[in-house]
Amino acid sequence: MTVKLFVPKESASGEKRVAMAPAVVDRVVRLGTELSVQAGAGAGSRIPDSAFEDKGAKIVKTKASPLKSADVVLRVAPPTAADIKGMKAGSILASFVYTNRNPDVVKALAEAKVTTLAMELIPRITRAQAMDALSSQAAVAGYKAALIAASELERFLPMLTTAAGTIRPAKVLVIGAGVAGLQAIATARRLGAMVEAYDVRTAAKEQVESLGAKFVMADIKADAEGGYARELTDEEKAAQQAMLEKHIAAADAVITTAAIPGRPSPKIISKAMVESMKSGAVIVDLAAEGGGNCELSEPGSTTTAGEVTICAPLNVPSMLSEHASEMYARNLLNLMELFIKDGELTLDLEDDVIKGALLTHDGEVVNEQAKQILEGSK
């Protein structure tokens, strides 16, 4: 037997990533699969069709037929309604879905009897680290955020000693020390900036300091399950704001990464805080997908408030699509190794990783949080 895999060209606006990379094609084929990739699927990542073919994938010009016959469909962004109708019942979709943003997509997947493994639901356990696409893409975003800050600032990041005198290093404050925040810290430090970081999770202190940054502390502990942070109480938010205000005012660049899965991004930087910032300061709001951490952020735009530039980019990993695609493809490969063995589909619904990522199956929405979101959207 051979499992038929299909990778369509992404159709979401601005999405340049692809769910497969030439570097992993041969390993995917060795699982006992027949891999088809839609022509032009890698164009946004500057990957020619020939690069996939050379490694053993088949290039198909249209998607209707391979989509209908595929046992497994691999995507980055959620499928369209038309694509879902074209998939066969019982097939497996591995993709980012985000029920809170796309409830109609989830309903359609269930109705079509597609088994959905939502990549944002991969549990954050040691065994699943190699499949954790949220983390791999967050690392890309954190790196790019530091570069955006450096590009938007009208000053150097590192200290420079020149014949014209010494230029002091820029101060960068990173709010949120998860994967994206840590990568932003590391990149800003490599660029020579003085870096401070804040996180409500006290466990982040050691990681921040290991990267050479200073950990800014508030008397708040908000560690939650799965390496995330819980939502703060009103009193805790006030204490956080008071502590952060002076550090934000002193920073040349602030990078925010604070997000709560399935909920709007917490507002951390108020209008008053922006007004207190240095002339020429920059905010890079990586939480724009959820509305932003800055009160003045306009998701998808770069704006100014007085003399402060506020960047709120969307889909930042797509800006580094080549390596973001390769990392994502490796996440998918590691996931598929759990349910494709010797050319056979063996989906173990009791496996911790499969069970955690399972969104729809056999005509039902099976994830409890997704059920609650769908109930609330009626």
Q: Which residues make beta-bridge pairs with 229?
A: 223
Mark whether 342 is an active-site residue.
no
Q: Which residues make beta-bridge pairs with 118?
A: 95
**CA 66 – CA 60 distance, rounded (Å):** 8
Dig out the tokens for 112 from the structure. 């079509």
Kind and range of the H or E run holding 257: none
Mark whether 129 is an active-site residue.
yes
**CA 158 – CA 337 distance, rounded (Å):** 44
Dig out the tokens for 60 from the structure. 């198909």
Dig out the tokens for 167 from the structure. 């230029």
**CA 9 – CA 66 distance, rounded (Å):** 12
Backbone angles phi, psi at 33, to 5 degrees: -120, 160
* 53 contacts 76 by C-beta, under 8 angstroms: no
SS3 170: coil
Dig out the tokens for 285 from the structure. 């709001």
**For residue 180, what are the CA distances in angstroms to 177, 186, 258, 276?**
7, 10, 9, 26
Identity of residue 164: A
Q: Which of 49, 83, 132, 199 is catalytic?
A: 132
Q: Which of 27, 69, 124, 190 is catalytic?
A: 124
Mark whether 228 is an active-site residue.
yes
Q: Which of 11, 69, 190, 228 is catalytic?
A: 228
Identity of residue 99: T
Mark whether 124 is an active-site residue.
yes
Find how far residue 270's CA is from the centre of its chain. Answer: 25
Q: Which of 135, 183, 207, 265 is catalytic?
A: 135
Dig out the tokens for 114 from the structure. 């597609």
Whose CA is closest to 251, among 283, 296, 207, 219?
Answer: 283
Residues involved in catalysis? 124, 129, 132, 135, 228
